[in-house]
């Protein structure tokens, strides 16, 4: 049984939504951030990054001071009616159309207790320092503006509800500069709210696709606030989530780049690979077509590797166990600065460019993880290696804000 709950969101004024909603701030370089802040006074980035002006970074003494600035800037956006709180609780149908592919799901508040009890399943461990920082952020700012992406089983009943709403004019309908279209419908009818709640209540589990640190931090906040003031109906007992049918989420590979060959020549490196892989030259930009197959880009040449002894392990784990650790001396993907990651949507062309710029010696292309693999690992309480999946859709910050008190 998955517990979801309607809530009264804080949202951009309709005439400013295209200006307010932003990509996640981590996707911008500092020059890009300054440009956005200088050009657009309505961007949610002003809230996320209140210590960065258009020309320089305003350093604060500590994280608490910076997070208090976030809280203050958020209050200013509310006062100026850039952001407005809905008068009644509801659910929100959000559709993002990317490269012609529509992602349609429900934005809701989801039970932290379900996460704590394993009904919201994970496939990735969190970094404690990052989790602590985001918990502090939530506690001080009192807002959650980036939904966790959750996957659910398919619901025909929910699809019928979507069809009814999607035939009506949306509350929001705008296209961003990366050519993604964003649409939002409000579900505020009592009977439809009850229907959505009941549909998810009939599901045994939900699966995290993206947002492990956000969900873990929400759970930490819940524990902290309930320790001295237990209120089962308080907003902090829930976290903001975007729930999609598991069949519509797109899972891409996360490719690897390594700065050097650990002192080996190209010939010695290829010879070392022969222990566990069949090696063949392949056409430029060749993409792995099955599990157990890898592509290597090295000194402007492409090679296809096929594992000699097939295993049930994820390809990312095989790459670490058979190549990165024993041959290239990379034992901890989270800490070793010799390895970098490039998301699948950038493609092998992106991998090639990174190597050709001489920033990296070799690139590895992987076959993407399947949803069945992800689900199996989560069901067994297992975890994937770092950066095993790149999931779409990527959500905009500030499109829907969940207040925590």
- pLDDT, tens only, 337-362: 999 999 888 889 999 999 999 889 99
Domain check: are 41 and 184 in the same one? yes
Q: What is the pLDDT of residue 60?
A: 55
Q: Is 189 contained in some domain?
A: yes
- Write the CB contacts of 195 (distance below 8 Å, at least 6 apart in sequence): 157, 161
Q: Where are the beta strands (DSSP E) in 211-248?
A: 238-245
Contact predicate 304/286, CB 8 Å: yes
Domain check: are 276 and 214 in the same one? no
Domain check: are 210 and 282 in the same one? no
Q: What is the pLDDT of residue 23?
A: 87
Q: What is the pLDDT of residue 270?
A: 96
Q: Is 8 contained in some domain?
A: yes
Residue for token pair 């519509």: 248
Lowest mean pLDDT among 6-10, 110-114, 232-236: 232-236
Per-residue pLDDT band for 54 (boundaries 50, 70, 90) equals: very low
Closest of 40, 17, 16 to residue 28, by C-alpha: 40
Q: Where are the beta strands (DSSP E) in 99-253?
A: 101-111, 120-121, 143-144, 148-152, 172-175, 181-187, 206-210, 238-245, 250-252
Q: What is the pLDDT of residue 187?
A: 98
Q: Classify burial at 347, counting beta carbons within 10 Å of its beta carbon; exposed 0-12, middle 13-18, buried 19 or more.
A: middle
Q: What is the pLDDT of residue 125?
A: 78
Q: Is 386 contained in some domain?
A: no
Q: What is the pLDDT of residue 201?
A: 96
Give the DSSP letter string of 278-329.
Answer: EEEE--TT----STTEEEEEETTEEEEEEESS--SS-HHHHHIIIIITTTT-
**What total of structural domains would you count in the chain?**
2
Tokens representing 360? 């990296």
Q: Is 21 contained in some domain?
A: yes
The distance from CA 26 to its chain's CA centroid, rounded to whole angstroms, is 11
Contact predicate 196/106, CB 8 Å: yes
Q: Classify burial at 324, counting beta carbons within 10 Å of its beta carbon; exposed 0-12, middle 13-18, buried 19 or more.
A: buried
Q: What is the pLDDT of residue 53?
A: 56
Contact predicate 53/37, CB 8 Å: yes
User: How far apart (Å, rounded) are the C-alpha atoms in residues 296 and 309?
Assistant: 19
Tokens representing 248? 């519509």
Domain containing 57: what range?
Answer: 4-251+392-403
- Write the CB contacts of 282 (distance below 8 Å, at least 6 apart in sequence): 295, 302, 303, 304
Mean pLDDT on 167-193: 96
Q: Is 314 contained in some domain?
A: yes
Lowest mean pLDDT among 61-65, 219-223, 278-282, 335-339: 61-65
Domain check: are 265 and 214 in the same one? no
User: How far apart (Å, rounded) are the C-alpha atoms in residues 168 and 157?
Assistant: 18
Q: What mean pLDDT value characterizes the chain? A: 93
Domain check: are 137 and 281 in the same one? no
Residue for token pair 């095993």: 388
Domain check: are 311 and 229 in the same one? no
Share of the chain above pLDDT 70, in %: 98
Q: What is the pLDDT of residue 386?
A: 82
Closest of 75, 23, 29, 27 to residue 52, by C-alpha: 29
User: How far apart (Å, rounded) are the C-alpha atoms in residues 49 and 70?
Assistant: 7
358-384: b (≥16 Cβ within 10 Å) or e: eebbbbbbbbbbebebbbebbeeeeeb
Strand pairing partners for 348? Answer: none
Domain check: are 307 and 242 in the same one? no
Mean pLDDT on 232-247: 95
Domain check: are 247 and 282 in the same one? no
Domain check: are 166 and 232 in the same one? yes
Decide if pLDDT at 85 tops 50. Answer: yes
Q: Is 69 contained in some domain?
A: yes
* CA-based torsion, 73, 74, 78, 83: positive or negative: positive
Q: Is 379 contained in some domain?
A: no
- Which strand (E) or helix (H) includes residue 4? strand 4-5
Q: Is 375 contained in some domain?
A: no
Domain check: are 12 and 114 in the same one? yes
Domain check: are 291 and 203 in the same one? no
Contact predicate 390/345, CB 8 Å: yes
Strand pairing partners for 90? Answer: 7
Domain check: are 220 and 328 in the same one? no
- Residue 91: how many CB atoms within 10 A of its CB? 26
């Amino acid at each position: 049984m998955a517990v979801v709950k309607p809530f009264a969101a804080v949202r951009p004024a309709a005439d400013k939504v295209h200006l307010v909603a932003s990509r996640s701030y981590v996707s911008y370089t500092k020059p890009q951030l300054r440009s956005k802040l200088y050009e657009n006074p309505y961007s949610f980035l002003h809230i996320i990054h209140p210590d960065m002006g258009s020309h320089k970074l305003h350093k604060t003494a500590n994280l608490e001071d910076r997070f208090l600035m976030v809280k203050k800037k958020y209050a200013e956006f509310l006062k100026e009616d850039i952001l407005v709180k809905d008068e009644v609780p509801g659910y929100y149908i959000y559709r993002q159309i990317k490269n012609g592919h529509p992602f349609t799901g429900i934005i809701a508040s989801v039970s932290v207790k379900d996460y704590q009890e394993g009904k919201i399943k994970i496939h990735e461990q969190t970094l404690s320092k990052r989790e602590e920082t985001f918990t502090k952020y939530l506690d001080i700012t009192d807002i959650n503006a980036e939904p966790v992406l959750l996957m659910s089983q398919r619901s025909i009943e929910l699809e019928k509800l979507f069809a009814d709403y999607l035939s009506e004019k949306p509350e929001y309908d705008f296209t961003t500069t990366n050519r993604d279209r964003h649409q939002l419908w409000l579900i505020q009818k009592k009977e439809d709210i009850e229907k959505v709640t009941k549909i998810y209540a009939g599901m045994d589990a939900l699966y995290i696709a993206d947002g492990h640190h956000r969900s873990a931090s929400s759970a930490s906040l819940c524990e902290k606030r309930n320790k001295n003031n237990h209120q089962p109906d308080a907003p902090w007992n829930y976290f903001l989530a975007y729930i999609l049918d598991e069949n519509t989420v797109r899972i891409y590979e996360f490719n690897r780049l390594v700065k050097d060959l650990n002192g080996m020549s190209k010939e010695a490196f290829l010879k070392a690979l022969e222990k566990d892989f069949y090696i063949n030259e392949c056409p430029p930009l060749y993409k792995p077509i099955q599990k157990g197959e890898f592509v290597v880009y090295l000194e402007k040449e492409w090679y296809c590797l096929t594992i000699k002894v097939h295993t049930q392990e994820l390809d990312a784990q095989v790459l670490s166990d058979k190549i990165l650790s024993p041959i290239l001396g990379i034992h901890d993907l989270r800490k070793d600065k010799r390895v970098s990651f490039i998301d699948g949507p950038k493609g092998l062309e992106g991998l090639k460019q990174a190597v050709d710029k001489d920033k990296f010696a070799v690139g590895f292309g992987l076959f993407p993880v399947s949803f069945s693999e992800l689900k199996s690992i989560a069901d067994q309480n297992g975890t994937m290696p770092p950066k095993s999946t790149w999931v779409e859709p990527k959500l905009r910050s500030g499109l829907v804000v969940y207040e925590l008190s």
